[in-house]
């Protein structure tokens, strides 16, 4: 089997988890691009984000911040994007996964789910049947999306949140850690609690 090489864009905490995930799936992480040139599991820093424009090795934008990940994907880096999928992930053969997405340790994706581009399905998150997840979304650790949930572009579903079946969550929404989402959520709302209520709204992009 051919050994795949990948380069990460980003060198923070999320990149650390993604690098570990990639190595666990047998992929060689050649290094990372990061303006801060931090220490990432002993990997080689290859320069800042601009340097990433010049690589032809497949890339993953391993940055947890949805807006930054989107900005880099849209404007700065034009690449072949790789999908990270830890060996512990359970992903239905009837699900589709967009380029650049990261399915981290223990995530579960069920039949009929459609996952967009550059999405993070973080540790132990669950995306059940027929969910539709927009580009640049982050489903945080242990969050649970019941069947048929729709999540708009760039939303963050916080750690351990639960979303009831067939709920529609707008773009740019932030659902707080532990939120229990029982009704549809408008674009850019920040919600929290059980049942989740709107705290305020983010500025639309």
Ligand X SMILES: CC(=O)SCCNC(=O)CCNC(=O)[C@H](O)C(C)(C)COP(=O)(O)OP(=O)(O)OC[C@H]1O[C@@H](n2cnc3c(N)ncnc32)[C@H](O)[C@@H]1OP(=O)(O)O
Does 122 sit near ligand X (CB under 6 A)? yes
**Residue 52 DSSP one-character state:** G
* Closer residue to ligand X in complex, CB, 46/192: 192
Does 180 sit near ligand X (CB under 6 A)? no
Does 124 sit near ligand X (CB under 6 A)? no
Identified catalytic residue from 14, 79, 86, 129: 129
* Closer residue to ligand X in complex, CB, 46/189: 189
Check whether 14 is labelled as a binding-site residue.
Answer: no
Active site residue 129: yes
Q: Is 89 exposed, middle or buried (0-12, 13-18, 19+ CB in 10 A)?
A: middle
Q: 16 φ, ψ to 5°?
A: -60, -45
Q: Which residue is nearest to ligand X (CB)?
A: 176
Q: Which residues contact 141 (CB under 8 A, 6 or more apart)?
A: 122, 123, 124, 125, 159, 160
List the one residue out of 204, 91, 194 whose CA is nearest residue 153.
204
Does 174 sit near ligand X (CB under 6 A)? yes
Footprint (CB under 6 A) of ligand X, residues 150-169: 158-159
Is the separation of the CB atoms in 19 and 62 below 8 Å?
yes
Kindly tell me which residue out of 11, 100, 124, 141 binds ligand X, with binding defined by CB under 6 A.
141
Which residue shows structure tokens 């969050």?
Answer: 143
Does 12 sit near ligand X (CB under 6 A)? no
Does 31 sit near ligand X (CB under 6 A)? no
Enumerate the known binding-site residues for substrate.
64
Among all residues, which ones are annotated catalytic? 129
């Amino acid at each position: 089997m051919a050994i795949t090489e990948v380069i990460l864009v980003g060198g923070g905490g999320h990149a650390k988890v993604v690098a570990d995930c990639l190595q666990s799936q047998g992929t060689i992480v050649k290094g990372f691009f990061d303006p801060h040139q931090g220490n990432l599991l002993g990997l080689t820093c290859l320069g800042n984000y601009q340097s990433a424009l010049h690589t032809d090795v497949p890339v993953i934008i391993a940055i947890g911040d949805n807006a930054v990940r989107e900005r880099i994907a849209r404007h700065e880096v034009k690449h072949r994007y790789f999908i990270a999928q830890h060996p512990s992930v359970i992903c239905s053969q009837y699900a589709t996964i967009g380029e650049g997405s990261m399915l981290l340790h223990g995530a579960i994706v069920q039949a009929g789910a459609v996952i967009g581009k550059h999405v993070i399905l973080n540790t132990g998150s669950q995306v059940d049947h027929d969910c539709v997840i927009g580009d640049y979304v982050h489903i945080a650790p242990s969050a649970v999306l019941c069947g048929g949930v729709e999540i708009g572009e760039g939303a963050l579903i916080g750690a351990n949140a639960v979303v009831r079946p067939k709920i529609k969550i707008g773009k740019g929404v932030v659902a707080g850690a532990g939120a229990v989402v029982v009704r549809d959520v408008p674009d850019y709302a920040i919600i929290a609690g059980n049942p989740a209520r709107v705290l305020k709204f983010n500025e639309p992009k």
